């Protein structure tokens, strides 16, 4: 007797099965195209898995005699909680202390996007962003603060609409120097 391995189902087939398991009729007029739409949506929402840090940076690192803090605030992001596949969204604040090299400012939001467009937990995403900036620039410090609202807390479970989660990752001088840390946190707050 030979055992055949079943071909993996496509995202569309899985969504169709999900609709049926929820008690819906996937052949109903309003749902006919839903499996395809959901498959395309999930592919986009998880596109960060197919992004590469080196390609994102694309050589946009420049030699500059800069030593003062560089901060890009209020980088909007949308992600999916890996526990419930529900969205969480908010803003990331990314800073670094150059050591003679700076990165094109638009690359910091692109780095945030790369890690947000995955199944995530906010804590890991915050650290991944900081470590990526550290990897490409080798600055004397990196600071990342992420503030977000989680639909898994708003729509289900505790159902708290106004709660926000804040995470931070501080590397190098942002962790070791209280003045640098204080300046960064003050700037993040808008001070």
| CA–CA dist 32, 39 (Å, integer) | 13
Single out the residue of 119, 133, 122, 6 nearest to residue 60, CA to CA: 133
Are 31 and 70 part of one and the same domain? no
Are 98 and 31 part of one and the same domain? no
pLDDT value of position 191: 60
- Per DSSP, which regions of 38-155 are E strands? 61-63, 70-81, 87-97, 101-103, 119-120, 141-150
| CA–CA dist 10, 139 (Å, integer) | 43
Q: 79-128 pLDDT, tens per residue?
A: 999 999 999 999 999 999 999 999 999 999 999 999 999 999 999 999 99
Residue owning tokens 């942002």: 174
Token couple for 27: 């052949």
Let me know: does 147 contact 91? Beta carbons within 8 Å: yes
Domain membership flag for residue 97:
yes
pLDDT value of position 155: 86
Token couple for 26: 């996937």
Give, for 170, the enclosing helix (H) or strand (E). strand 165-172
Are 81 and 126 part of one and the same domain? yes
Task: Tell me the average pLDDT across 23-38.
Answer: 96
Q: 130-145 pLDDT, tens per residue?
A: 999 999 999 999 999 9
Are 41 and 134 part of one and the same domain? no
pTM over 0.85: yes
Domain membership flag for residue 131:
yes
Cβ partners under 8 Å of residue 161, min gap 6: 154
Number of compact structural domains in the chain = 2
Are 31 and 90 part of one and the same domain? no
Are 31 and 87 part of one and the same domain? no
Are 108 and 133 part of one and the same domain? yes
Identify which has the larger pLDDT, 10 or 161.
10
Residue span of the structural domain in which 33 resides? 11-45
Are 26 and 80 part of one and the same domain? no
Q: Which residues are catalytic?
A: 81-84, 122, 150, 152
Are 59 and 20 part of one and the same domain? no
Task: Tell me the average pLDDT across 24-47.
Answer: 96
């Amino acid at each position: 007797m030979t055992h055949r391995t079943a071909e993996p189902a496509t995202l569309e087939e899985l969504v169709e099965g999900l609709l049926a398991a929820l008690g819906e009729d996937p052949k109903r007029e309003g749902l006919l195209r839903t499996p395809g739409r959901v498959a395309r949506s999930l592919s986009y929402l998880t596109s960060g898995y197919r992004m590469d840090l080196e390609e994102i940076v694309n050589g946009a690192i420049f030699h500059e005699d800069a030593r003062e803090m560089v901060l890009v605030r209020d980088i909007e992001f949308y992600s999916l909680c890996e526990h419930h596949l529900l969205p969480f969204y908010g803003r990331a604040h990314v800073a670094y202390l150059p050591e003679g090299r700076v990165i094109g400012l638009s690359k910091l939001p692109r780095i945030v996007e790369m890690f947000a467009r995955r199944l995530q937990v906010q804590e890991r995403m915050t650290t991944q962003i900081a470590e990526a900036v550290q990897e490409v620039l080798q600055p004397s410090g990196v600071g990342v603060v992420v503030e977000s609202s989680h639909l898994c807390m708003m729509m289900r479970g505790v159902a708290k609409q106004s709660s926000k989660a804040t995470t931070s990752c501080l590397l190098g001088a942002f962790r070791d120097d209280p003045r640098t840390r204080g300046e960064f946190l003050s700037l993040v707050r808008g001070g």
